[in-house]
Structure 1
Amino acid sequence: MSGSEVAARQCVVGAMEGRVDEIADRWVQLQARWAAPSTGIRESELREEADALVAAVATGLESPLPVEQIVASHVDLNRTVTELSLRRARSGESPTATSLAVLALKEALLEAVQESTQDSGKLFSAALLINQLMDAAGALSFDTYVEGREEIIHRQSRQLLELSTPVVRLWGKVLGVPLIGTLDTARTQVVMDNPLQAIQDQESTVAIIDITGVPTVDTAVAQHLMQTVQAVRLMGADCVISGIRPPIAQTIAQLGIDLSTIMTRATLADALSEAVELTAGSLPPSDAPVAR
């Protein structure tokens, strides 16, 4: 660490000494001017963030780490910036507003330094130091926000897939998996996972996969369905595919896909009748929903 950097750090730390609360208050005010939160973040929450970040900046500057490594390597500062960004990502704040909010701390720190010294040389060195430190914090907040939003979007997409692929108990130990819409790789994986888990949880012996609402079946979709049937059989249950309409039957025949080893029925009603026979006509429990 060079002598000029040491002097600049001492200048900034000295300006912050005993004024952490004041700097935090000023940062909260500046955020309203730089990037007013659009998602209803309460002032008390902003103040908690401000207290934590300003304190982390102070301890980071007091550490022996070079200024270019403080944000990345100082545990407390890195965690504080990361948590701030993730919290705002979850609340729906934009990545630009989040990084601008972090960068707004620059002005609060510079004002504190200006009030502590009139030496132009010290002011210049301190300004360079503050810019370098807070630019790194702003970049970290932006990257963290983007990663956090991608995780949230992925989780929500998974939840939507699961909601769009329900597993319903139709009769006794008979499960129904009604499919509607296009089947892509991600969704067909859910189609495989959900019935298998339900078979295990409910000790079902027959699973009906109804594709009445699937507009087209290509080679990939057919392969996924065959894999699902095989997986269901490995669980000790039978599988019936229903809803194979004439256009889909023609497409499957033209593609040369062999479904001869898979039990298929034209309608869900036919499949349910077959399932009842497979389960020896056992009556459903009184609390079990029955297809109508």
Structure 2
Amino acid sequence: MAALHGSTLEAIKTHQAQLLDEWISGLEASGATRNIKEQMLSQETREFLQLLIEGLQSDSGNNIAATGWDEARRFLEKLSASRAQLGHDSHQTVFFIFGLKGPLFGLLQAHYSNEPGRLAEQLWVMSELLDNMGMHTIRTYQRTREAVIKRQQEELLELSTPVVKLWDGVLALPLIGTLDSQRSQTVMESLLQRIVDTGSEIAIIDITGVPTVDTLVAQHLLKTVTAIRLMGADCIISGVRPQIAQTIVHLGLDLGTLTTKANLADALKLALSRLGVSLAERV
């Protein structure tokens, strides 16, 4: 197995300024520095090159899981997280590492110009090391992006299930889009919490914006209504369009326990009448 030669380390330490200049130029030319300030990029490249030198001096080899690479791993994990937050893709992120290959390999070629065997050996050692670091960076980036996407999905779910207070004791939840299992759970939790917070007696779930109602959607609605009733409140489903009514009949779904209305206005009138509120029509 090829090992790092002391002369390689000395060459890197001696030509740090040259490596940094060429590395930064390559990063800028590739577009990997988008939304990154020049001062920040300069700081990151200097810090990583120093950590690379320290790791090489620790004789930890190419195993970046070794103790000697602890600081370098932490740096790459922090870098991956920051790039994900900036909206960089995986290629832009990992090119921070791979962008060092060109300047470093050029330096080694000049340094070992008279030793082709040693040159090939050291190129392999450094290439394998940087590849391992790139893979670690990609794995960290993917975990961070997945966390960001999951958080954004949760935030969108919350925004897509707004619970509105229509009257004292009356809440409304307008649904838009498909009602799947995850969203149904969010709907139930949001609505139940608002019932507790406001002490409301009636909740209206408006499905005008739900494109289709199938067996699964109907089951979600029934579960939500059951949970609301267990909280001591009542529930009205509004927005039952003719197409949805026909679909429910064709599917043979039993929604007999649900109170339904064609639109939100009719549902509100029914809710107010149940609360003993009378509305006088304007003449």
Picking from 57, 61, 77, the partner of 2:56 is 61
1:95 lines up with 2:90 in the alignment = yes
1:218-249 Cα shifts (integer Å, max 9, x gaps): 00000001111122223332221111123222
User: What is the CA–CA distance in structure 1 between the aligned matches of 2:201 and 2:159, rounded to whole Å?
Assistant: 23
Aligned residues: 276
Contact 2:32 2:95 survives alignment (8 Å): no
1:15 lines up with 2:2 in the alignment = no
1:35-91 Cα shifts (integer Å, max 9, x gaps): 223633221121122123212222222334331x21576322222122222222222
Secondary structure, aligned partner of 2:237: strand
Contact 2:27 2:33 survives alignment (8 Å): no
1:203 lines up with 2:199 in the alignment = yes
Distance of aligned partners of 1:13 and 1:247 in 2 relative to their CA distance in 1, 3 Å threshold: same
1:127 lines up with 2:144 in the alignment = no
User: What is the CA–CA distance in structure 2 between the aligned matches of 1:194 and 1:204, rounded to whole Å?
Assistant: 13
User: What is the CA–CA distance in structure 1 between the aligned matches of 2:183 and 2:206, rounded to whole Å?
Assistant: 15
Contact 1:240 1:271 survives alignment (8 Å): yes
Contact 1:38 1:93 survives alignment (8 Å): no
Distance of aligned partners of 1:79 and 1:280 in 2 relative to their CA distance in 1, 3 Å threshold: farther
1:113-158 Cα shifts (integer Å, max 9, x gaps): 5666666254433222110110111222233333333332333233
User: What is the CA–CA distance in structure 1 between the aligned matches of 2:25 and 2:98, rounded to whole Å?
Assistant: 13
Aligned identity (percent) is 42
User: Normalised by the size of structure 2, how large is the TM-score?
Assistant: 0.84
Unaligned runs of 5+ in 2: 279-283
Contact 1:209 1:242 survives alignment (8 Å): yes
Distance of aligned partners of 1:167 and 1:32 in 2 relative to their CA distance in 1, 3 Å threshold: same
Distance of aligned partners of 1:212 and 1:129 in 2 relative to their CA distance in 1, 3 Å threshold: same
Contact 1:182 1:215 survives alignment (8 Å): yes
User: What is the CA–CA distance in structure 1 between the aligned matches of 2:135 and 2:65, rounded to whole Å?
Assistant: 10
Distance of aligned partners of 1:64 and 1:187 in 2 relative to their CA distance in 1, 3 Å threshold: same
Counterpart of 2:281 in structure 1 is none
Contact 2:64 2:133 survives alignment (8 Å): no
Picking from 99, 108, 129, the partner of 2:103 is 108
Unaligned runs of 5+ in 1: 283-292
Secondary structure, aligned partner of 2:85: helix
Counterpart of 1:70 in structure 2 is 64
Distance of aligned partners of 1:242 and 1:94 in 2 relative to their CA distance in 1, 3 Å threshold: same
Contact 2:20 2:46 survives alignment (8 Å): yes
Picking from 178, 194, 211, the partner of 1:182 is 178
User: What is the CA–CA distance in structure 1 between the aligned matches of 2:10 and 2:65, rounded to whole Å?
Assistant: 20
User: Normalised by the size of structure 1, how large is the TM-score?
Assistant: 0.81
Moved more, 87-96 or 117-126: 117-126
Counterpart of 1:288 in structure 2 is none
